[in-house]
Amino acid sequence: MCGIVGYVGHRDAYPIILEGLKRLEYRGYDSAGIAMFDGTNLKVSKTKGKVLDLENKSTQENNINGTIGIGHTRWATHGVPNDVNSHPHYSNSGDLVIIHNGIIENYESLKKELLKRGYTFNSDTDTEVLINLIEDVKKNEGVKLGKAVQIALNQVVGAYAIAVFDKNKPDEIVVARLGSPLAIGIGEDEFFIASDASPFLEYTKNAIYLEDEEMAIVRRHKDVKIRKIKDDSLVDLYIQELQINLEQIEKGGYDHFMLKEIYEQPNAIKDTYRGRLLVNEAIIKMAGVEDNMKKFLNADRIIVVACGTSWHAGLVSEYIFEDLARIPVEVEYASEFRYRNPIITEKDVVIAISQSGETADTLAAIKLAKSKGAFVFGVCNVVGSSIARETDAGAYTHAGPEIGVASTKAFTTQITVLTLIALRLARAKGTISSSDFRRHLLELEMIPGKVEEALKSDSHIKMIADIYKDAKNFLYLGRGYNFPVALEGALKLKEISYIHAEGYPAAEMKHGPIALIDEQMPVVVIATKKGHYDKVVSNIQEIKSRKGKIIGIVTQGDKSVKDLADYVIEVPETLESLTPLLTTIPLQLLSYHIAVMLDKNVDQPRNLAKSVTVE
């Protein structure tokens, strides 16, 4: 997720763009850049780091001024964060300049074709490919910029919100969107474009939000026109008068970043499997795995090292890898692993999971594993982070920045990546039939829609939260694939509501914890139809007979648990190996609502930090 801003009108564009980028930094903050046309020259200033670094650099470099410009704050998906990979990107001629939020899936094939035509590239980004594709179309078809953008985008697969301008026509900016947001602010003979309205709210409250597959040319002294990218047909203008404030916009209208990020999960999962899950071709494509296939297939075992929620995602992967790919897996707390003098050989593959990519214990575990000759594969959410750079190879989650300290979309996107890897290895090892493989691909593709479905229980979950918000202890129970989800649900509640909660394998209750059960103890039981359903139902009966309060997470339409539990929360049916992607949703919402009702600081809970970079 990146932030884009643009302006064309009668004001000095620089301060508008710079302030606008500061307001969009919550969307991405690993590099920033600005391109302006000062009437004579196109000037671009860009740098790794935050918008403040850009401000310092651009005011020193050259006092760029002018009344047309575009700016970008980056959340890297391709190419590590550095000056060269920062946006804006030029075309080869130096005439065209672009900023982009999204992922171009087919950029490699487009780049190959452009290289054949003599184009050169300075960066590793998909965006630089797009601007040169636009230039190539403009030159070969002899069309104006708007038409060139339209033709080029019809060759692109992926997601984008882009703004492009030509220094030879510095009165207009061409914008287009597919899958990433883009708003147009309409002022008095001036136009603003941005990822959301926060950069222009103080100048105008009149906004148009482009829909997917729409584009527009905003031009001085002209009215804006919206067109369909596919067929150039005109789209009726729908100008909204905005009634929201800045803070609401940054949180996407949600009260907290955590809630926003819970609701971003359908898109985050989609962005994470985009370009990797190719259902029509019935293949999974992951360069980091393909390039190291032998290491994975010849491994004696996979050792997962992680902390916190990432450790829970690793525990889910143990079930997936062993069940589907028949590869032995050990899941280790990185903080324990690094000090217990573990046995590590060159036949081991270590998978390090980390949202921030900066967790000190995980980084130390990686270094220890590498020192013993193991191959280390990283699953991170921050491109170019320390762990991403330290590991031998990896696969990024494309969850976008996770601002809330309590990890939510990172968890589900980590599981998505790990599931893709396990399925790819299972296919390579022949431990899964082609029909079962296809079934998993089809079902994984439907998960974002099923997460949307699970999110619809939000108000029902809020009602349950209100009933149990004053409990002093909670138990979370799950079996099989959902045992790690029980642990994760307990962690979510603990870390934002400060209520003590424990996760347990459901069958473990009879080995002690059942002594805790009484009418003061809410027990959240994950009892979806897949897996050991009947055994979980009998665990529920054991709890009920001891007057425990039962909140069941059940498959849509379940009747048995509904009759036994005090409350049930339904999730759509899916394959057993994919249930964690759905059963975690109600647990995230339950902990969120309880914490809000207890007036806790949901996004920045006490004693916690978003990234634990110390031991």
Q: Which residues are catalytic?
A: 2, 610
Alpha-carbon distance values, 455 to 244, 349, 410, 556 (Å): 24, 36, 17, 13
Region from 76-84, 348-356, 557-565, 591-599 binding ligand AGP, contact rule CB under 6 A: 348-356
Judged by CB, which is closer to ligand AGP: 13, or 351?
351
Judged by CB, which is closer to ligand AGP: 98, or 405?
405
Q: Of 272, 354, 391, 579, which lies in the binding site for ligand AGP, with binding defined by CB under 6 A?
A: 354
Region from 115-123, 401-409, 563-571, 586-594 binding ligand AGP, contact rule CB under 6 A: 401-409
Write down the H helix ranges in 382-502.
386-390, 409-429, 434-455, 458-468, 483-497
Least distance from ligand AGP to the Cβ atom of residue 257, Å: 12
Least distance from ligand AGP to the Cβ atom of residue 554, Å: 25
604 binds ligand AGP (CB under 6 A): no
Residues in the chain: 615
Q: Of 406, 521, 589, 595, which lies in the binding site for ligand AGP, with binding defined by CB under 6 A?
A: 406
Least distance from ligand AGP to the Cβ atom of residue 416, Å: 15
261 binds ligand AGP (CB under 6 A): no
Q: Of 214, 348, 495, 558, which lies in the binding site for ligand AGP, with binding defined by CB under 6 A?
A: 495
Residue 25: count of CB within 10 angstroms of its CB: 17
Least distance from ligand AGP to the Cβ atom of residue 611, Å: 5
Interacting residues with ligand AGP between 298 and 327 (CB under 6 A): 307-310
CA distance linking residue 346 with residue 472, whole number of Å:
47
CA distance linking residue 578 with residue 420, whole number of Å:
11
**Tokens 């994919």 belong to which residue?**
578
Peptide bond just before 88 cis, omega within 30 deg: yes
What are the φ and ψ backbone dihedral angles of 42, each rounded to 5 degrees? -90, 120
CA distance linking residue 251 with residue 27, whole number of Å:
10
Judged by CB, which is closer to ligand AGP: 195, or 354?
354
Region from 90-98, 261-269, 350-358, 531-539 binding ligand AGP, contact rule CB under 6 A: 350-358
Least distance from ligand AGP to the Cβ atom of residue 309, Å: 3
Least distance from ligand AGP to the Cβ atom of residue 522, Å: 20
Q: Of 85, 91, 407, 528, which lies in the binding site for ligand AGP, with binding defined by CB under 6 A?
A: 407
Q: Of 242, 360, 428, 612, which lies in the binding site for ligand AGP, with binding defined by CB under 6 A?
A: 612
Taking a C-beta distance cutoff of 8 angstroms, is the pair 199, 242 a contact? Answer: no
Judged by CB, which is closer to ligand AGP: 204, or 414?
414
Q: Which residues pair with 239 in a beta bridge?
A: none
Q: Of 67, 317, 355, 457, which lies in the binding site for ligand AGP, with binding defined by CB under 6 A?
A: 355
332 binds ligand AGP (CB under 6 A): no
Q: Tell me the two tokens of residue 25.
A: 């930094």
359 binds ligand AGP (CB under 6 A): yes
CA distance linking residue 406 with residue 605, whole number of Å:
8
Q: Which of 461, 467, 486, 465 is nearest to 476 (CA)?
A: 486
Write down the H helix ranges in 142-186.
145-153
Judged by CB, which is closer to ligand AGP: 597, or 612?
612
Alpha-carbon distance values, 153 to 85, 98, 227, 230 (Å): 21, 13, 13, 9
362 binds ligand AGP (CB under 6 A): yes
CA distance linking residue 329 with residue 350, whole number of Å:
10
Q: Of 405, 415, 420, 477, which lies in the binding site for ligand AGP, with binding defined by CB under 6 A?
A: 405
> Taking the C-alpha atoms of 224, 229, 230 and 234 in order, what is their torsion angle to the nearest 10 degrees?
-10
Q: Shortest Cβ contact with ligand AGP: which residue?
A: 308
Interacting residues with ligand AGP between 216 and 235 (CB under 6 A): none
356 binds ligand AGP (CB under 6 A): yes
Taking a C-beta distance cutoff of 8 angstroms, is the pair 157, 106 a contact? Answer: yes
Question: Which residues form the interface with ligand AGP (CB under 6 A)?
Answer: 307-310, 354-356, 359, 362, 405-407, 495, 611-612
